[in-house]
Amino acid sequence: MLTITSSAFTEGGEIPARYTCDADNVSPPLAWSGAPDKTAAMAVVVTDPDAAGFVHWLAVNLEPVGGLSQDVSGKPAAGTEGRNNFRNDGYGGPCPPSGSHRYEFAVYALSERLDLSPGFSHDDLQRAMSGKVLAQGTLTASYRRNR
């Protein structure tokens, strides 16, 4: 079983403003454990299920052991990053228009590295991962804007 954690927030907890559009908008630290022995790479997909699956971050070809430190988007540690629904490559933090929204940080253990170019779409990623997912884990937290 793939376990996903963050030192910035807990399962079901609140995402600190630092990782949102209301502050620094940097990617939060993520850690994973329990990847199968044959894992070649990891992928991260961050979505907002309360906004029809709005995509906040796509990253592939991450190292199978450990995780990601804070603010790795746009840096080599983040592997190859895709295009989020803000129409930018890399991380785009929570920015709900109103109320509280949930954010799912899904991590996938893959049997091989994926041949995707920077700026790939969520659909491109889903196609490329087909038949290559060895395990999956999710960390879910929420954010409410104070405006």
CATH, domain range 3-144? 3.90.280.10
CA–CA dist 115, 107 (Å, integer) = 18
Domain boundaries, the chain: 3-144
**pLDDT tens-digit profile of 23-64?**
999 999 999 999 999 999 999 999 999 999 999 999 999 999
pLDDT band at 147 (very low <50, low <70, confident <90, very high): low
**pLDDT tens-digit profile of 61-116?**
999 999 999 999 988 888 999 999 999 999 999 999 999 999 999 999 999 999 99
CA distances from 24 to 83, 122, 147 (A): 19, 24, 16
| 21 has a pLDDT exceeding 80 | yes
CA–CA dist 99, 95 (Å, integer) = 10
